[in-house]
Amino acid sequence: MRDFRILSQTARGQGRAWHMLHPSKKSEHPMDRSSQLPLAITVEEAATMLSIGRVTMYKLVRKRVVQSVRIEGTRRVIVSSVHDYLKRLIECEGEGA
């Protein structure tokens, strides 16, 4: 918690980067998203991930096959739920074969 106070008091106000204040913790900063995948994506992006149409993806969202949330008026699909959906499809195909 103390590190956050230092960041908020010095780095924000004076434009210093987190890694300058904490060189050993460069990749641990919670706001550093350069190497992380997004947690939620648009419905269109989720459709592209699955190589399906936008309308089909909206049907999956509406039926709650994949999880989604509204963020400031836009629908976002939870990326992990897209992966879970694919795993379920693979399991179902394995059982039917």
Q: Which CATH number belongs to the domain containing residue 52 in this structure?
A: 1.10.1660
Identify which of 62, 63, 69 has the alpha carbon closest to the alpha carbon of residue 42: 69
45 shares its domain with 91 = yes
pTM, two decimals, is 0.61
User: What is the pLDDT at residue 35?
Assistant: 60
- Closest to 86 in 3D by CA, of 59, 63, 52, 39: 52
**Six token digits for residue 62:** 């509406």
Residues 92, 55 share a domain: yes
Q: What's the pLDDT at 22?
A: 53
Q: Which domain, by its residues, includes 86? A: 40-96
Q: Is 42 helix (H, G, I), strand (E, B) or coil?
A: strand
- Total tally of structural domains belonging to the chain: 2
Do 90 and 45 share a domain, yes or no? yes
Q: Are residues 48 and 91 in the same domain?
A: yes
- In terms of domains, do 54 and 74 share one? yes
Percent with pLDDT over 70 in the chain: 63
Q: What is the pLDDT of residues 42-73, one digit of tens each?
A: 999 999 999 999 999 999 999 999 999 999 99
pLDDT score of 93: 87
Q: Are residues 28 and 45 in the same domain?
A: no
